[in-house]
Amino acid sequence: MDDSICPRCKTTKFQNPSLKMMVNVCGHALCESCVDLLFLKGSGACPDCRIPLRRNNFRVQLFEDATVEKEVDIRKRVLRDFNKKEEDFATVREYNDYLEDIETIIYNLVNNIDIVNTNKKIEDYKRNNREQILKSKGKLSREEYELEELLDLEKQQEKMRRNEIKVEEAETKKKKLREKEALIDELMFSNANAKNIVETFAQNAKDTKETETKVAASKVTQFSTGIQFGRQAQSSFLPVPTEEGPAYVYKPITTVTEGPKLPPEEDFAGLGYNNHIRSETEQERAGGFTSNLACMRALQDALAGLYHVKKL
């Protein structure tokens, strides 16, 4: 922003460190003093593009690129109307399409593409969805609501903590005062050595301080933000995704063996195959391995390809 320069009066940040650039809906920047000068009457035309502007629509420029400002403006305006939330759609796909529509509209407006039609589209949408727009405006989305709640809670906790600290401070102050008085009393009325008395009091004060710091330390284990862990779990479950597209149809796998057919696996024991292979150990069975599998694989390998003939 350092090299920003007002296009009208050519003042730079260097010449005037308090220079403030302002933008309006058209995206052309002016410095504050030029705005004051040009829009004395409250409205006027932009010196760059001659678009009629109002003075109170000028804002301080936040981004270096004025077109970004323009886009932010437009986006704000469009999103005021296009305020549907994800919950309003049956499928994620529809929601994504909707978002893409919005982006196209914004893009068109920013880059001056087909402005007439785009504006018409917005008007149409406004007319068709007036009720919904109003409803959405009133209703904060779930996320926003939760966030607000969280902030509230935090604020409250912060307040409570501050009060606590205040009370504690007052108490310690009182205590100190009391101790001081006690010491003076002691010095005035006791017959003991003044030096001894001062020493014992100092020792006492030190001890109490130590215990206090210990107590304070144990307090620190609390969460500083005060967010409860269980909170997230209580909030509603994720929505069940609705299926899109045609349903999956199961097709049985067909294998080409190029060889004689294998006896079915269920018959292995009956035919006596299992007598000729090592039976699985207990650990192997726990892993889902059975001797049938090994036997089957060996037999499959033995039979597959027996008919194989490479064609010329």
Partner 1 sequence: MFPNSTQCKYWMFTSEDELNKLRENANTKHIQMYGRHVNDAHKFDIFLTPDEERLMVRKYELNLRDFCKKFQPPMLRCVVGTAFHYFKRFYIHNSVMNYHPKEIMVTCVFLACKVEEFNVSMTQFLTNIKGDREKASDIILNNELLLMQQLSFHLAIHNPFRPVEGLLIDIKTRCTLNDPERLRPGTEHFLERALLTDAILLYAPSQVALAAVLHAASKLQENLDSYVTDTLFGVEGRGKLEELIEAVRSIRSMVKMADSVIDKNQLKLLEKKLEKCRNPENNPDSEIYKQRMQAMLYDDDEVYSQISSDHQNRDNSALNMSITSPGA
- Binding to partner 1 by residue 295, rule CB under 8 A? yes
Contact in structure between 121 and 97 (CB atoms under 8 Å): no
Sole window of 107-115, 161-169, 234-242, 273-281 interacting with partner 1 (rule: CB under 8 A): 273-281
Q: Is 274 helix (H, G, I), strand (E, B) or coil?
A: helix
| C-beta closer to partner 1: residue 92 or 298 | 298
- Binding to partner 1 by residue 127, rule CB under 8 A? no
- In angstroms, rounded to a whole number, what is the distance separating the alpha carbons of residues 123 and 111? 19
- Binding to partner 1 by residue 307, rule CB under 8 A? yes
Beta strands in the chain (DSSP E): 21-23, 29-31, 43-45, 52-54, 59-60
Single residue of 221, 275, 288, 290 touching partner 1 by CB under 8 A: 275
- Binding to partner 1 by residue 298, rule CB under 8 A? yes
- Binding to partner 1 by residue 251, rule CB under 8 A? no
- Binding to partner 1 by residue 265, rule CB under 8 A? no
- Binding to partner 1 by residue 276, rule CB under 8 A? yes
Length of the chain as a residue count: 312
Minimum CB separation of residue 263 from partner 1 in Å reads: 9
Contact in structure between 107 and 113 (CB atoms under 8 Å): yes
Whole-number Cα distances in Å, 167 to 26, 160, 162, 163, 188: 56, 11, 9, 6, 32
Single residue of 257, 265, 280, 292 touching partner 1 by CB under 8 A: 257
Binding-site ranges for partner 1 (CB under 8 A)? 255-261, 271-273, 275-277, 295, 297-312
